[in-house]
Amino acid sequence: MMTKVMAFGEALIDFLSNGETSLDGQESFTKFPGGAPANVAVAVARLGGNSHFAGQVGDDAFGHFLKDSLESYGVKTDSMLMTKEAKTALAFVSLDSTGERSFEFYRNPSADMLFRREDFKSEWFYAPQGVFHTCSNTLTDADITAATMAGILMAKAAGWIVSIDVNLRMNLWPNHQVDNARVLNWMRQGDVIKASLEELEVLSQDPLALIEQLLADGVSLFVLTDGGNPVRYFSANGQGEIVAPTVAVKDTTAAGDAFVGGLLYQLAQCGGDREALKSFSDAELADCIRFAVACGAESVTKAGAYPSLPNLEQAEARLATF
């Protein structure tokens, strides 16, 4: 059986700007399924991985649309809950002339934030190896943070790789102020961390020193992105960088999630064993990250979230270009 990858967190509706205005000057939007962890789950499924989504949506039209969408892309939803206690989260995404995004969220509270630690089931972590993925959007209040940490502990107990995508969205936090101590504590629980330089600058005055400290604390792999600059990676066995190919950018909405999905797919292909990850050679890590970069580069050439995520053939074709 293929190694299981389980992405935990929010599934939501992305209302993506069409980049046009009507005669009365109003911006128009089109509905897409989205949410960073859900995007990652789809990215893994599109590549042919054993992908699962864990989280909660509203028992409403948007929630059922998201569940159906995930399943249509091959994501298993046996760990996806529905509730009548709150509505499914919404995000309105506007794009500038370069394809960069700005967000407006309707999510306080939404169904994903009502997932609790007792909602995790031990049978979800049935296999001796796997990959459990989280991002910081499930840290914005105490209860969903407790649930996130409970899932991480269960994954570690099962010997799974814990993946962390820092993915800070400032306007999801109370008063737009990130709880740095909470985020850093969560990051220390990870085996694999992906963050942008801009995000690390929010968390520390010395990003590279923070990376060194996290590696000393037990993190096996830290991947640092910086816009169009090379992707840098750091591990106990060395460091390096991967230069991304030049592509025509249409929409960056799912670029980071495509990258993470590609990386987690590669880690799952290698067995999803957190102890084995510690002994990966520099060449093995570089191959995993180069594949992830190819996935991210391919995704920005198309619009939307799920529809832009590459299958294995497309990812390998893009990989062959650099």
CATH number at residue 152: 3.40.1190.20
Give the neighbor-by-neighbor strand order of the sheet with 221-225: 80-83, 50-58, 4-9, 130-135, 161-165, 192-196, 221-225, 231-235, 238-242
- State which residues form the domain around 277: 4-21+28-319
Residue 166, by phi and psi: left (phi above 0), alpha (psi -120 to 50) or beta? alpha
8 Å CB contact between 42 and 75: yes
Q: Are 26 and 83 contacting, i.e. CB atoms less than 8 angstroms apart?
A: no
Instruction: Decide if 166 contacts 136 (C-beta within 8 A).
Output: yes
With H, G, I as helix, E, B as strand and everything else as coil, classify residue 100. coil
For the chain, where are the E strands, in sequence order? 4-9, 12-21, 27-34, 50-58, 80-83, 90-95, 101-106, 130-135, 161-165, 192-196, 221-225, 231-235, 238-242
**How confident is the model at residue 22, as a pLDDT?**
55
Q: Which residues of the chain have pLDDT under 50?
A: none
Structural Rg of the chain based on CA atoms? 18
Q: What is the model's pLDDT at position 97?
A: 62
Longest dimension (CA), the chain: 60
Q: Which two tokens stand for residue 276?
A: 């084995």
Three-state secondary-structure class, residue 153: helix
Dihedrals phi, psi of 292, to nearest 5 degrees: -60, -40
Closest alpha carbon to 196 in 223, 160, 230: 223
Quote the pTM value.
0.94
The predicted-structure confidence for 3-14, as pLDDT tens digits, reads as follows 999 999 999 998
> Residue 134 has which token pair?
């989280």
pLDDT at 276: 93
| Interval 118-177: pLDDT, tens | 999 999 998 889 999 999 999 999 999 999 999 999 999 999 999 999 999 998 899 999
The total number of residues written for the chain in this structure: 322
Cα separation, 26 vs 121, in Å, equals 46
Whole-number pLDDT of residue 95: 67
Quote the CA–CA distance of 59 and 64 in Å, as a whole number: 7
In the chain, the number of structural domains is 1
CB atoms within 10 A of CB 101: 16
Residue by residue, DSSP assigns 33-53 as EE-HHHHHHHHHHHTT-EEEE
Here the tokens at position 195 are 């963050």
